[in-house]
Amino acid sequence: MFQETVLAANHYTENLFSFEITRPDSFRFRSGEFTMLGLEQDGGKPLLRAYSIASPSWDEKLEFFSIKVPDGPLTSKLQAIQPGDRIVLGRKSTGTLVLDALTPAKNLYLLSTGTGLAPFASIIRDPETFERYDNVVLTHTCRTVKELNYGKDLMQATMSDEVLKEIIGDKLKHFTSVTREDYPYQGRITDLIADGTLADAVGLPDLNPETDRVMVCGSMGMINDIKGLCLSKNFEEGSISRPGQFVYEKAFVE
């Protein structure tokens, strides 16, 4: 395992925070992958869990977006990290949410809830994404408006980057919705796809396996619902070994 240093920690709500750590020179990953991350325990093995890498593959540091679980064995401690603290990082990365798991198409939909936004934070900052697709639609659904703030900050930083904004142009579309508070778009993303709200908001036709590819990351219920929706529209599930028309991160689904 690598021993890395915390560079920054940002708390968005009582339940969500992000943090950045140093990146070893030999650590390589594809945008959208996850790795093992955790903390040393007194006299024992490090306490680890899988975390999607939110930073793009070209970044010199590593960024992560995490939920806070008060009684969680790891996150109850991880949420207290400060710059200068030490983090245990796995030596390898893996995952299904990578561009190579999808066949070529016109549009890419990145559908997320909560901290499921993390792998897509990496993908939307990867120039290769915009070489492959004419339109990239990033959706983020949370319970409350405050929980959308990480994604809004991400979009602002991405479109303020002098290099990225030239590469992205007008290809990237950001759609947010909330389930438990008043908001311009209210409801679960599955419902907003089914009733045409998403298509109207981003100015694209309904999902079609001929033109669209879909990546999904979020709660188990949301992933299963989107999977069912995709299959009902004749999308074929993909993988690294057999690219298809939609993928989800199986490591985070029981």
Tell me, what CATH number does 150's domain have? 3.40.50.80
Domain hosting 129: range is 99-252
**Boundary of a domain, candidates 54, 74, 94:** 94
Residue 44: per-residue pLDDT: 75
Domain co-membership, 153 together with 41? no
Residue 69: per-residue pLDDT: 87
Domain co-membership, 145 together with 235? yes
Say whether pLDDT at 244 is over 80: yes
Mean pLDDT, to the nearest integer, of 86-115? Answer: 97
Tell me, what CATH number does 58's domain have? 2.40.30.10
How many structural domains comprise the chain?
2
Domain co-membership, 27 together with 107? no
Residue with tokens 């070994």: 241
Domain co-membership, 198 together with 143? yes
Contact between 179 and 142 under an 8 Å Cβ cutoff? The reply is yes
Classify residue 60 by its DSSP letter: S
Ordered alpha helix ranges (H), the chain: 75-78, 118-123, 127-132, 149-160, 162-168, 189-194, 197-202, 220-232
Contact between 198 and 169 under an 8 Å Cβ cutoff? The reply is no
Name every residue whose Cβ is closer than 8 Å to that of residue 192 and which is 6 or more positions away in sequence.
177, 185, 198
Structure-token pair, residue 251: 């490591």
Tell me the one-letter amino acid at 243.
Answer: P
Q: Alpha-carbon distance 100 to 129, whole Å? A: 10
Percent of the chain topping pLDDT 90: 91
Say whether pLDDT at 145 is over 70: yes
Enter the pTM of the model: 0.96
The greatest distance separating any two alpha carbons of the chain, rounded to the nearest whole angstrom, comes to 57
Domain co-membership, 190 together with 133? yes
Q: Alpha-carbon distance 61 to 251, whole Å? A: 24
Structure-token pair, residue 148: 């959308």
**Boundary of a domain, candidates 65, 94, 123:** 94
Q: Alpha-carbon distance 39 to 75, whole Å? A: 10
Domain co-membership, 36 together with 73? yes
> For the segment 18-45, what is each residue's pLDDT rounded down to a tens digit?
999 999 999 999 999 999 999 998 777 8
Say whether pLDDT at 254 is over 60: no
Q: What is the mean pLDDT of the chain?
A: 95
Domain co-membership, 123 together with 173? yes
In DSSP notation, 203-253 reads T-PSP-TTTEEEEEES-HHHHHHHHHHHHHTTPPB--SSS-BSEEE-GGG-
Residue 253: per-residue pLDDT: 66
Domain co-membership, 144 together with 29? no
Contact between 3 and 20 under an 8 Å Cβ cutoff? The reply is no
Domain co-membership, 241 together with 119? yes
Does the CA dihedral 199-16-13-126 come out positive or negative? negative
**Boundary of a domain, candidates 49, 71, 94:** 94
Q: Sorting pLDDT into bands at 50, 70 and 90, what band is 71?
A: confident
Phi, psi of 43 (to 5 degrees): 65, 15
Residue 42: per-residue pLDDT: 79
> What Cα–Cα distance (Å) separates residue 142 from each residue in 113, 183, 221?
6, 11, 13
